[in-house]
Amino acid sequence: MSSRLTPASSVSAAAPLPALAALVTVVLWASAFVGIRALGDTFSPGAMAFLRLLAAVIPLTILVAVVRLRARATGAQARPLFPRGRALAMVTAYGVAWFAGYTVLLNWAERHLDAGTAALLVNLAPILVAVAAGLFMGEGFPRHLVIGMTIAFAGVVLIALGGSATADAHADWLGVVLGVAAAILYATGVLIQKSALRTVDALTATWLGAVAGLVATAPFAPVAVTELSVAEPGAIWAVIYLGVGPTAIAFSTWAYALARTDASAMAATTLVVPALVIVLSWALLGELPTGVGIVGGLLCLAGVAIARRLLPRRPRVARRARSLDASSPALTPPEPRRVPGTTATEGTPPCASSSPASPSAGR
Give tens-digit pLDDT for 167-212. 555 557 888 899 999 999 988 888 888 778 788 888 888 899 999 9
pTM of the model: 0.73
Q: What are phi and psi of 164, to 5 degrees?
A: -135, 150
| pLDDT for the residue numbered 78 | 63
Length of the chain: 363
Most confident among 47-61, 83-97, 191-205 (mean pLDDT):
47-61
Question: For residue 59, what pLDDT is reported?
Answer: 94
Listed residue (205, 210, 162, 152) closest to 183, CA to CA: 152
Distant-in-sequence, close-in-space partners of 244: CB < 8 Å, separation ≥ 6: 55, 56, 59
